[in-house]
């Protein structure tokens, strides 16, 4: 069910939610958090709502979408309430502010009356994010602040901002996209012969924040020199090579879908390593509301990596 409320107020939206609950019982009350999505008005809204709806099946929540409209328009707030099949396991409230209500400082005043009482608040910027999310009007209301440098107009600049202005509670989906890589590498190193890693090389696309972040994570966790090389043709994160006395451990993914894990004395293993969808990353991030210390340490490790001067050829999945 979708209910439109043009030229309305937050008070009217709250009253309409109560009437919908009383009339049909369509709104469950077992919400575990409020997810606030901040974006510009446009086609990206539906993709963000779809991802939030999928995440809400594991984390029932209230989703508030703040869609900033035209700054030059007359002051007005349009609202839309989505419940039932149109809202997953959540209730979705879309707020479109125009004129003075389209500026960032007005977002918090639109959101606050609709927050669930005594429930954590998570803020998510699916596209462009503020320079310092923790100082944003909505960011100050949230326990967790989720950004996505890869969706910014300039991903590398956005990632550099995350490194510079990180505050406990901040996270970025470029980190969440690395979960499978980190798990596979950690599992490989946990197996015999339990030798120390002496050096590491991470290869990826030139503009790939995830590649930089994985290299930073390895530099911090292993305490070794990590070289960050650029792949000539492939996209995203391509390969990791960990040097050990008995031979290297390699995890390569040249096609963006399937990876091959190579270890001395063991047969190669093909592993599913497709690029993760935004909805899966968002679902994972909503599982924790405490600060992510490992992510913070990995950001600090980015400054320790050594960047190769010459691009390298993409590795092959074929047996060497």
CB 204 within 8 A of CB 210: yes
CA proximity to 216, closest of 174, 253, 244: 174
Higher pLDDT, 298 or 102: 298
Residue 53's CB: how many other CB atoms inside 10 A?
19
Buried b (16+ CB within 10 A) or exposed e, 82-105: bbeeebbbbbbbbbbbbbebbeee
**pLDDT of residue 67 exceeding 70:** yes
Q: Which tokens hold the place of 226? A: 């990590």
**What SS3 state is found at 16?**
helix
Rounded mean pLDDT, 18-32: 70
Residue 292: pLDDT above 70? Answer: yes
User: What whole-number distance in Å separates Cα of residue 107 and Cα of residue 195?
Assistant: 53
Position 85 pLDDT exceeds 60: yes
Q: What mean pLDDT is predicted for residues 44-53?
A: 92
pTM: 0.92
pLDDT computed for residue 38 by the predictor:
94
Round to whole Å and give the CA distance between 103 and 97.
8
Residue 29 has pLDDT above 60, yes or no: no
CATH architecture of 2-147: 3-Layer(aba) Sandwich (3.40)
Least confident span in 30-39, 96-105, 135-144: 96-105
DSSP H helices in the chain = 10-24, 44-56, 104-111, 155-165, 173-176, 179-190, 209-222, 278-285, 293-301
Give the length of the chain. 320
What's the confidence (pLDDT) of residue 14?
Answer: 93
Which residue has better confidence, 241 or 313? 241
Query: Residue 1's pLDDT band (boundaries 50, 70, 90)?
Result: confident
Quote the mean pLDDT of the chain: 91
- The CB density around residue 2, as the number of other CB atoms within 10 Å, is 13
Give percent of the chain above pLDDT 70: 95
- pLDDT above 80 for 89: no
Q: So what's the pLDDT on residue 312?
A: 84
Please return the burial class of 318, using the count of CB atoms within 10 Å of its CB with bins 0-12, 13-18 and 19+: exposed
- How buried is residue 297: exposed, middle or buried, by Cβ count under 10 Å (0-12/13-18/19+)? middle
pLDDT of residue 316: 67
Which of helix, strand or coil describes residue 109? helix
26 pLDDT above the threshold of 60: no
The answer to whether 35 touches 61, Cβ cutoff 8 Å, is yes
Q: What is the pLDDT of residue 309?
A: 86
Task: Dump pLDDT digits (tens) for 188-224.
Answer: 999 888 899 999 999 999 999 999 999 999 999 999 9
Asked whether the beta carbons of 253 and 240 are under 8 A apart, the reply is no
CB atoms within 10 A of CB 75: 12
Q: pLDDT tens digit string along 218-227?
A: 999 999 999 9
Q: What are the boundaries of each domain within the chain?
A: 2-147, 179-307
DSSP one-letter code for 197: P
* 169 secondary structure, DSSP code: T
pLDDT band, very low/low/confident/very high, at 318 (cuts 50, 70, 90): low
**By C-alpha distance, which of 138, 98, 140 is closest to 114?**
138
Q: For helices 293-301 and 155-165, what crossing angle results, to 10°?
A: 110
The answer on pLDDT for 258 being more than 70 is yes
Q: What angle do CA 147, 219, 150 make, to 5 degrees?
A: 25
Reply yes or no on whether the pLDDT at 286 is more than 90.
yes
Which pLDDT score is estimated for 24?
A: 63
């Amino acid at each position: 069910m979708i209910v439109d409320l043009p030229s309305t107020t937050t008070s009217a939206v709250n009253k309409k939610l109560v009437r919908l609950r009383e009339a049909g019982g369509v709104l469950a009350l077992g919400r575990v958090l409020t997810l606030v999505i901040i974006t510009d008005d446009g086609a990206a809204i539906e993709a963000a709502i779809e991802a939030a709806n999928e995440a809400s099946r594991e984390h029932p929540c209230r989703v508030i979408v703040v869609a900033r409209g035209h700054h030059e328009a007359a002051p007005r707030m349009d609202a839309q309430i989505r419940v039932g099949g149109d809202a997953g396991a959540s209730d979705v409230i879309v707020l479109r502010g125009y004129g003075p209500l389209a500026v960032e400082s007005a977002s918090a005043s639109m959101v606050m009356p609709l927050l669930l009482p005594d429930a954590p608040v998570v803020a998510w910027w699916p596209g462009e994010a503020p320079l310092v999310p923790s100082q944003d009007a909505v960011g100050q209301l949230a326990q967790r602040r989720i950004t996505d440098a890869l969706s910014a107009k300039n991903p590398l600049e956005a990632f550099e901002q995350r490194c510079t202005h990180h505050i406990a509670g901040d996270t970025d989906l470029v980190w969440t996209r690395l979960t499978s890589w980190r798990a596979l590498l950690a599992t490989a190193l946990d197996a015999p012969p339990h030798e120390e890693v002496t050096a590491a090389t991470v290869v990826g696309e030139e503009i790939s924040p995830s590649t930089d972040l994985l290299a930073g994570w390895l530099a911090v966790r292993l305490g070794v020199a990590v070289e960050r090389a650029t792949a000539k043709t492939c996209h995203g994160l391509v390969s990791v090579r960990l040097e050990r006395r008995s031979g290297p451990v390699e995890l390569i993914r040249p096609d963006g879908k399937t990876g091959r894990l190579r270890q001395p004395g063991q047969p190669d293993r093909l592993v599913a390593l497709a690029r993760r969808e935004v909805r899966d990353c968002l679902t994972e991030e909503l599982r924790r509301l405490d600060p992510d210390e490992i992510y913070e340490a990995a950001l600090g490790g980015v400054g320790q990596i050594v960047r190769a001067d010459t691009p390298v050829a993409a590795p092959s999945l074929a047996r060497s």
